[in-house]
Amino acid sequence: MIQPSFDRVVLIKITQEAKTQSGILLSQNTQDQTHLGQVVHVGEGRYEHGVLIKPPFKINDVVVYKSYAATTIKHEGQEYLIVDSKDILATIQ
């Protein structure tokens, strides 16, 4: 298990289909610009002015993240991304 420190989040990258549900083919550039991940572990949080601020994400959330901010690691044959919670832009509902 990977336990992220502070307010970091561990993700598994979600790969995009090359075609939308309506049958439109996506260019590789479009696929590369969409960065989705599934949350697998969440850090305890960070202290700000003596108050613990917990990341607003939970396990199995699907999120959009800034690609340049992700650190890729491999653990037990699986590739994971570690991202600061501030670099997660949205949760997909």
Question: Is 80 buried (19+), middle (13-18) or exposed (0-12) by CB count in 10 A?
Answer: buried
CA angle 55/15/85 to nearest 5° reads 15
pTM reported for the whole predicted model = 0.79
Per-residue pLDDT of the chain (93 residues; tens, 9 = 90+): 899 999 999 999 987 655 455 655 555 554 455 689 999 999 999 999 999 999 999 999 999 999 888 999 999 999 999 999 999 999 988
Distances (CA, A) of 51 to 23, 46, 54, 77, 85: 49, 8, 10, 37, 17
CATH topology of domain 8-92: 10 Kd Chaperonin, Protein Cpn10; Chain O (2.30.33)
Report residue 87: phi and psi, to 5°. Answer: -95, 5
